[in-house]
Structures are given as structure tokens and as C-alpha cells.
Amino acid sequence: MGLTGEPSIWDGAPPAPEHIRLDGRTAIVTGAARGIGEAIATGLARFGADVAICDREAEDMAATATDIAAQGRAALTGLLDVRDEDAVAAFVADVADAFGSVDILVNNAGGGFNAAFLDVSAKGENALIRENFTSVTSFIRHTVPHMTSGGSIINVTSIEAHRAGPGFAIYSAMKAGVASLSQSLSMELAGDRIRVNCIAVDVTPTPGDAVLADDSGAISHTHWASQTWPEMGSVHDSAAAAVFLASDLSRFITGSSLHVDGGNWAASGWKVHLDDGSFGL
């Protein structure tokens, strides 16, 4: 089978430092008041993008907007619940009116709580589905028509999109659903030059970690390292991944999940024993 498609943009000249820049582009970042969303929003601004952000936390969101403006970039805020599709549609319309088009969409908003599946009510399940899956489809549905010059959709998932999540069964299923959706949409939207990828995060401390801790407040066992890489992750690692996936440097990457997890997905259950550095299951 022969190769198809237009010549690569790199055929004329190889990638250069300016290709990581996002100057002249507009981004939407959901759940941008704190944690990973805040880091991604300010990171995109640092590399040149104007950024529209939304969240339910007005005070923290205002602080994020201030940080975006400090980078010399325009900021637009929307106080809304991402589970409300009418509010999503209105916010995206405001962004398009303000900036003319959208180039980058980061679906970061989401969350869960620790409970056995049989203890989760139908109402609780519906809330988890709407927050972690339906919000993603809503933002994509309303944003894509404004990606008139192509674009990059980045869906923040989790390592739990790729493994079991006991105590977080619905949350994990929705993250897996987003990963599958991203693969399908990477094909459906390719003709419009819109790339769709995921960032699968783990071992990154965020303000929402309280719901993940056990009764002692510890997330991992005291005798085992929580990842093979010797450092903990930072929200800025996710921001760096988002900048890469938004930039021209990732122009041939679509339908993929970038694991920002210190090697946890690769480890597949192996742990580093803290006494001597050996591995065990």
C-alpha cells in the first residue's frame, strides 16, 4: 500500500524553537481555577496564546485570569458548571465573539469520589457521567464549528482510563470513554485538520487529592514507591504536555494518549521497594 497525503510541512525546513510558540492562537481551558487546569491555562499563555477559562470557583478563576494577563495575553472567564450544556454553549459563543475563532480546546474539568460501585446512587452516577464525559462532548460539539483553521483538542484523562479503578468505577469508565472518543474523533475531524489527543495523568499532587486518600491521609503504601521515576509529578508537567500537543511540534500526532505519570502505566503493577530499590509486585 502506497503512502497518501500532502507533503509534510517539515519537508521545506525542519522544526525550530519557534514552532513551540502559540502566538495568535486562542485556547479554551475548562476547570482552570486550580491545579492542572490552572497550570495548563497559564502555560498556554506563557507560550503566546490568549486563553478563555471556565470554572465554578470564581475567586480562584479570577486569580488564574490575572496570571494569564501577567503574561501579556488576553483572558476571558466564564463562571459555569460544565455539566450544563446551555451554559457551555453560551460560554463558547462568547469566546468566539471575543476572539473570532478557537484554536485549542483543553477539556480538563472533571472529578470523582471514592465509593464502591454498589454504594453509588443513580443520581451520583449521572453526576459523574455528566462531569467527566458529557462535559467533554458538549465542549467539543460547540467548539469545533469555531475551529475554522484547524486546531488541537486535548482531553485530560487519567491512568484509570487504561486500568481498573476500584472505588472509582464510574469515573474510570468515563475516562476510558473519553480516551475512546478521542480516538474516534481523531478520525472524524482529521479532514478539518483538528487533532484530538489525551493527557493521561497520575502521581501528580493537586488540590483535589483529598478524595483519593485513605483514612490515614496516605495515598500510597509506606513501603512502596508510587511510581518508578524518582520524582513526583507536578501540574506543570501536564501543562508542558498540553503546550506540546497544542503546538506545531505535534502536528502529526492525533488519536494518542500521552502518559504523564512517572512511568506508572509502563510499570503495569511493578513497584519499587524503598529499602533497596528492587522491584516487586
What residue ranges define each of the domains in the chain, with the CATH number in brackets?
21-216+232-267 (3.40.50.720)
Q: Is 171 a catalytic residue?
A: yes
Give the mean pLDDT of 171-187: 98
CB count, 10 Å around CB of 142?
Answer: 21
pLDDT bucket at 276, cuts 50 / 70 / 90: confident
Kindly report the average pLDDT of the chain as a whole number.
Answer: 92
User: What are residue 252's DSSP bridge partners?
Assistant: none
pLDDT in tens, 110-163: 999 999 999 999 999 999 999 999 999 999 999 999 999 999 999 999 999 999
pLDDT band at 214 (very low <50, low <70, confident <90, very high): very low
Q: How far is CA 5 from the centre of its chain?
A: 29
Least confident interval from 12-21, 45-54, 137-146, 262-271: 262-271
Bridge-based pairing state of the strands 279-280 and 271-272: antiparallel
Among the options 47, 99, 139, 171, which is catalytic? 171
Which segment of 32-41, 174-183, 257-266 scores lowest on mean pLDDT? 257-266
pLDDT of residue 238: 98
